[in-house]
Structure 1
Amino acid sequence: MSELKIDERCKSTLKKIILFCTVLFLVSVVGAYILARGNWELIEAQIAQMMEGVMDNLNIETNKNFGLSLFINNLRAVSLMILTGFIPFLFIPIFILVLNGIIIGALPMLTGTNFVSTMVFGILPHGIFELSAIILGASFGVMICLTIVRKIIGKNTVEFKILLKYILKKYVFVIIPLLVIAAIVEAYITPIILMNTIF
């Protein structure tokens, strides 16, 4: 089979995985908000602890350092989702993606703001880029895991070396640029939008 045909198979499978990951992420966001709204007293400490862990990795002393910290933190998260895909059968990237969705979904309860306003003004401006990269990273991790599993059980699958080349190319030329833009928007633009809308 030619390299081009294998790439097309990758793209076809990836489209399905990306759709699955997108739907799963949205469900986890909305589900987390509904759950948090109805049981906030029970889960407030756990959500606050997760958010504290995220904030500990960020440098918020200056906007410049904050933007760089955001980029590094998000790059680390996306890279982790891709790399954990090499662990067969567990599909760990899915769990990391859902965890991100839970944190975002619970954010309005944590900040005491309206869900729609938080999503539109606090998440959407940079989230268009950041969440696209995160979902893409999770999808790549799932694709890697699925390919390894299929090889282990002896099913026909895409050429692994070509798959990795395809993912590496998308990582460098799609994911990293998306995260750079997301970090700039989140550090410099989202705070201005929030100050003029929600707060």
Structure 2
Amino acid sequence: MENCKRLYADTLAFYRRELSGPVFTAGWAFAGIVVLGFAFSLLSPTRADAVIAYYAQMLGQSGVADEGGNIQFFALLMNNLVAMALSLVYGLIPFLRLPALTLGTNGAILGLFAGYYMRQNISLLKYLLGILPHGIFELTALILSAAMGLYLCSTVTNALRKKQTGVLRPALHRCCQILYLWVLPLLFIAALVETYITPILFNLV
């Protein structure tokens, strides 16, 4: 128990020291991309619908939902966890800032769907009920994971430019701890809510 408390305290200190800035930037960038996706959906509905259809096809092939369209808890949890872990892996590639792509893709999809609902005269309340209950946890995990990936990318890039050694391993170690101690519980709660609660709320409106 004491070890667990110490781990959480250490990761919290690391977050405050190294990640609070990247998380703040990633959060605002994500919000901006959602708005841009929403505007694009309204201004270019044909292209937006094509993107939405492609996304729906990919989702159907991911195994997250069964043939009846019902979300499968474990498949959803593992799919999201792999996506968050990949943000860290992408961060190990210097200069390119690939974790931003994950953040941008998810933000754009949310904005596109919001615009789609509005164009179809479907209540935005229905859209929000389908997103917010689990999104509070899942989007927090997404932004945190993307921020860690961007932080790792900056660490690797700076180490190469300045020919530093021994800086990547401790940074990656802390990020992996946060992935396990913070991100995984958030995704677990999000998957529970999305599987068992969100469908009920979605059908209320």
TM class, shorter-length: 0.7 to 0.9
Note the alpha carbon deviations across 1:15-63, whole angstroms, 9 max, x for none. 1100010001111111101110111023311221023212321132589
CA distance in 2, matches of 1:69, 1:187: 10
Listed as ranges, the matches of 1:107-118 within 5 Å are 107-111=113-117, 112=120, 113-115=122-124, 117-118=126-127
- Is the 1:63–1:188 contact (alpha carbons within 8 Å) kept by the matching residues of 2? no
Q: Which consecutive segments of 4 or more residues in structure 1 shift more than 4 A? A: 7-10, 61-65, 155-158
Match of 2:53 in 1: 48
User: In the TM superposition, what is the alpha-carbon distance from 1:68 to its structure 2 partner?
Assistant: 1.4
Match of 1:99 in 2: 105
- The 1:163/1:150 distance shift into structure 2, 3 A limit, reads same
CA distance in 2, matches of 1:195, 1:78: 29
Q: 1:144 aligns with which of 144, 152, 174?
A: 152
| 1:86 equivalent in alignment to 2:111 | no
- The 1:110/1:48 distance shift into structure 2, 3 A limit, reads farther
Q: 2:16 aligns with which of 7, 11, 15?
A: 11
| 1:192 equivalent in alignment to 2:200 | yes
- Is the 1:150–1:157 contact (alpha carbons within 8 Å) kept by the matching residues of 2? no
- The 1:63/1:107 distance shift into structure 2, 3 A limit, reads closer
Q: CA RMSD in A?
A: 2.7
CA distance in 2, matches of 1:177, 1:63: 25
CA distance in 2, matches of 1:42, 1:63: 25
CA distance in 2, matches of 1:12, 1:42: 42
User: In the TM superposition, what is the alpha-carbon distance from 1:82 to its structure 2 partner?
Assistant: 1.2
Using the size of structure 1 for normalisation, the TM-score is 0.86
Using the size of structure 2 for normalisation, the TM-score is 0.84
- The 1:189/1:63 distance shift into structure 2, 3 A limit, reads farther
CA distance in 2, matches of 1:157, 1:14: 21
Match of 1:69 in 2: 75
- Counterpart amino acid of 1:31? L
User: In the TM superposition, what is the alpha-carbon distance from 1:173 to its structure 2 partner?
Assistant: 0.9
- Is the 1:87–1:145 contact (alpha carbons within 8 Å) kept by the matching residues of 2? yes
Note the alpha carbon deviations across 1:128-184, whole angstroms, 9 max, x for none. 110111111101100110000000110779832221221111111111111111000
SS at match of 1:68: helix
- The 1:130/1:157 distance shift into structure 2, 3 A limit, reads farther
CA distance in 1, matches of 2:55, 2:71: 22
CA distance in 2, matches of 1:176, 1:33: 29
User: In the TM superposition, what is the alpha-carbon distance from 1:8 to its structure 2 partner?
Assistant: 5.2
Count of residues paired in the alignment: 193
Listed as ranges, the matches of 1:20-59 within 5 Å are 20-57=25-62, 58-59=64-65
